Structure 1
Amino acid sequence: MNSNKTVLILGANSDVAKQCILQYLAKGFSIIASSRNLTSLENFINENQLNQSKIEIKYFDATDFNSHQKFYDELSIKPNIVVYSAGFLVENQEALKNFEGTFEMIKTNYVGAVSILNIIATDISNKNLERIIGLSSLSGVRGRKSNFVYGSTKSAFTQYLAGLRQELNSRKITVNVLVSGYINTKINAGLDLNKSLLMEPDYVAKYIVNAGNSFTIVPNWKWKIIYWILKLSPEFLVAKLP
């Protein structure tokens, strides 16, 4: 059991992040769960009768970049593992017409991640840090007309994590990116998704909590096939996809 290790979850109110909390606790980790919605986290902890001595909740706004250094400096303990799971999504047609929605995705999915993770990664005084995991998306593998605005923010995040992995390699810190397909979560509620490809949050969380040394983690064999088809297909074929 890892009773002396701490996981910082940034954007802990997502459905996948909440499952990560349960699974990390089961492995003996302590949790710093950070989010804008502290009431939802408190309700989640109470409903699941979780050990409150192992969980600290802390306010974190991914889009309030000026607050990130203070947030990190005030952590009660510097983390061994960091999971960035904050995310925001608006549908592509709305994003094309409404820059406000586009900008919110850029700030939450990319800029906010880079802001806080740069602070965490460059703190060489934190000898505890051993892993950073970012939640990306298959939408970021190739630009497709149905979701390229959202996909572009996830693609940028994936590329950032790839470089961060190289940057931190000499300090023996592992960086992973979770590249997931459709997950049955509130962010996807109401979208017309293929039910046979829908993954449950607890299933995806297992891949995060049990992350190994490989950079790219793609949960589910069906999505692994789709990932490689997207990655390797010539542009004229990708153009025919929705």
Structure 2
Amino acid sequence: MDQNTNKTVLILGANSDVAKESIKQYIKKGFSIMAASRNTDSLRNFVTENHFDSKVAILHFDSADFVSHQKFYDELLVKPHIVVYAAGFLVDNEKALNDFKGAQQMMMVNYMGAVSILNIIATDRSNKDLERIIGLSSLSGVRGRKSNFVYGSTKAAFTTYLAGLRQELASRNIKVNALVIGYIRTKINEGLQLNESLIMEPDYVATFIVNAGDSFTIVPNFKWKMIYFILKILPESLVAKLP
């Protein structure tokens, strides 16, 4: 624990269930946390309930408010050692197809907002402490499928961005990881008809964030790893038959 006592993690989109579990696990490892979200009231309740007041700084951050990102970063009292982009937004594909506002919001939160803030963080060469950037992506972005291709396209773009960012930062010995995640029991998936045997718990997924290693693509859970590799190699004629 001692080796992490002077290290700080910035979690963007910290109000998600997975992000909150990650906060708990990072604190156990000795890190201090900057938890950033639009919903600071919910974060404040979470911090108070878990007695994390001395370990967590709560910040307001709006992924879709691109103009505010530079000011947000400049005003951080401490520049982070680790950055986790956990912000996410989802509307069902039918709504995304018929109402561009939903599609646009997914693009802004899942991809454009990530690129905006992570570009600012990654190009700050004055922060010699930056060690790692972790982005939460999705198996929905592995192949385009008719049930969720609008959402999936935002995650595919994010994964591609992270892959290039990894190459960009390699010379500075900054690691970049993409968590390619399947179904999780979280608020974003409430009401969806999902295969129960494939649903992962937020604390389980959080362990893969907190213990991220050198590999770029991290797929939690053996079943999801198999699905990931199958999706990668399936011919288009078979992908077209998937829901």
Asked if these proteins are the same fold (TM beyond 0.5), I'd say: yes
Aligned position for 2:24: 22
- Report the AA paired with residue 234 of structure 2: S
1:194 aligns with 2:198: no
Deviations 1:55-102 (A, max 9, x none): 100000000000000000000100000000000000001100010000
1:149 aligns with 2:150: yes
**Counterpart-to-counterpart distance in 2, 1:66 and 1:46:** 31
Aligned position for 2:40: 38
Aligned position for 1:180: 181
**Counterpart-to-counterpart distance in 2, 1:49 and 1:55:** 10
The 5 A counterparts of 1:34-73 are 34-50=36-52, 52-73=53-74
**Counterpart-to-counterpart distance in 2, 1:176 and 1:236:** 31
Aligned position for 2:161: 160
Aligned position for 1:207: 208
- Report the AA paired with residue 21 of structure 1: I
**Counterpart-to-counterpart distance in 2, 1:125 and 1:53:** 27
Deviation at 1:233, TM superposition (A): 0.7
- Report the AA paired with residue 84 of structure 1: Y
Deviations 1:79-130 (A, max 9, x none): 0000000000000011000100000000000000000000000000000000
- Report the AA paired with residue 151 of structure 1: G
Aligned position for 1:95: 96
TM normalised by structure 1 equals 0.99
**Counterpart-to-counterpart distance in 2, 1:48 and 1:79:** 22
Deviation at 1:48, TM superposition (A): 1.5
**Counterpart-to-counterpart distance in 2, 1:6 and 1:62:** 20
TM normalised by structure 2 equals 0.99
**Counterpart-to-counterpart distance in 2, 1:55 and 1:139:** 32
Aligned position for 1:11: 13
Deviation at 1:53, TM superposition (A): 1.7
Deviation at 1:159, TM superposition (A): 0.1
SS in 2 for 1:68: helix
Aligned position for 1:236: 237
Deviation at 1:148, TM superposition (A): 0.2
- Report the AA paired with residue 217 of structure 2: T
Percent identical residues: 74
**Counterpart-to-counterpart distance in 1, 2:232 and 2:201:** 24
SS in 2 for 1:53: coil
1:126 aligns with 2:127: yes
Deviation at 1:54, TM superposition (A): 1.4
- Stretches of structure 2 lacking an aligned partner (at least 5 in a row): none
**Counterpart-to-counterpart distance in 1, 2:47 and 2:78:** 20
Deviations 1:217-236 (A, max 9, x none): 00000000000000111101
- Stretches of structure 1 lacking an aligned partner (at least 5 in a row): none
- Report the AA paired with residue 177 of structure 1: A
Q: Which runs of 4+ in 1 moved over 3 A?
A: none
SS in 2 for 1:190: coil
